[in-house]
């Protein structure tokens, strides 16, 4: 048995919940691991008081992600001064994550929604991990939302709203890497299944869906989103 005592926003709202345990290997994120649920998770918001700003922002990106995939109200809170409500916000994210994991512990369906913005993994790798996870996920969410909008998969205006919220929080919305670079790195990601990859696209704010595409279509998505 083990307990998780997460001390960052990112780990409190996401990685401490759901039993994914993994390590980076051969330059790839979380390549080797196993599912093993903690017996208990203890989140103490006092531990967040001394976080460096960039570390705090990594978690803010995860909260925005959580709002985008499941909770419009949570997303809207991130457009205002959320710092006073941080405990409620963390609790809302934990509730959503627990529900998602309870319905799909082993990541075969619904849990993949949590991969929204995970083109960010390619951004992390291309930057040699100088761009940290939440910052990369922010850019990844913008890329995939803009692409989804361009391809008519979601209502227009969503990518502007997302971009505005991300920027307001102090997170990045673009990177210097080319579509081709991101495409090649994404193809080597563990989440690829044969000749297809499952993208997570928003239909509207507060609701994302799984969208399977052929690997050779992925380049078009990245190009449209950059």
Residue 120 makes contact with ligand GLY by CB under 6 A = no
The whole-angstrom separation of Cα 170 and Cα 83 is 13
Residue 114 makes contact with ligand GLY by CB under 6 A = yes
The whole-angstrom separation of Cα 207 and Cα 200 is 10
Site map for ligand GLY, 90-109, x if CB under 6 A?
-----------------x--
Pairing of strands 20-25, 207-214: unpaired
Of the two residues 149 and 208, which places its CB atom closer to ligand GLY in the complex? Answer: 208
CA 127, 160, 110, 187 torsion-angle sign: negative
Supply the minimum distance, in Å, between the C-beta of residue 130 and ligand GLY.
Answer: 21
Query: How many residues line the site for ligand GLY (CB under 6 A)?
Result: 7
CB atoms within 10 A of CB 202: 23
CB atoms within 10 A of CB 94: 18
Of the two residues 107 and 220, which places its CB atom closer to ligand GLY in the complex? Answer: 107
Of 11, 13, 14, 186, the residue at the interface with ligand GLY (CB under 6 A) is 14
Residue number with the smallest Cβ distance to ligand GLY = 114
The whole-angstrom separation of Cα 101 and Cα 50 is 30
Supply the minimum distance, in Å, between the C-beta of residue 176 and ligand GLY.
Answer: 26
Binding residues among 15-54 for ligand GLY as defined by CB under 6 A: 15, 18, 20
């Amino acid at each position: 048995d083990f307990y998780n005592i997460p001390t960052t926003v990112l780990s409190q709202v996401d990685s401490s919940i759901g039993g994914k345990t993994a390590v980076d290997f051969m330059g790839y994120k979380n390549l080797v691991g196993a599912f093993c649920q903690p017996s208990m998770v203890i989140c103490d918001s006092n531990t967040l008081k001394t976080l460096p700003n960039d570390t705090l922002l990594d978690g803010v990106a995860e909260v925005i992600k959580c709002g985008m995939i499941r909770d419009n109200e949570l997303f809207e809170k991130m457009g205002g001064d959320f710092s006073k409500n941080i405990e409620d916000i963390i609790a809302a994210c934990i509730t959503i994550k627990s529900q998602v994991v309870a319905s799909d512990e082993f990541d075969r369906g619904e849990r993949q929604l949590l991969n929204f913005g995970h083109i960010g993994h390619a951004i992390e790798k291309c930057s040699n991990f100088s761009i940290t996870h939440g910052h990369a996920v922010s850019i990844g969410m913008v890329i995939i939302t803009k692409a989804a909008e361009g391809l008519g998969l979601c209502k227009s205006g969503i990518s502007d709203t997302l971009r505005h919220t991300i920027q307001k929080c102090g997170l990045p919305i673009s990177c210097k890497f080319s579509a081709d670079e991101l495409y090649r790195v994404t193809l080597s990601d563990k989440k690829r299944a044969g000749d297809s990859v499952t993208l997570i696209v928003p239909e509207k704010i507060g609701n994302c869906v799984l969208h399977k595409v052929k690997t050779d279509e992925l380049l078009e998505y990245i190009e449209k989103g950059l």
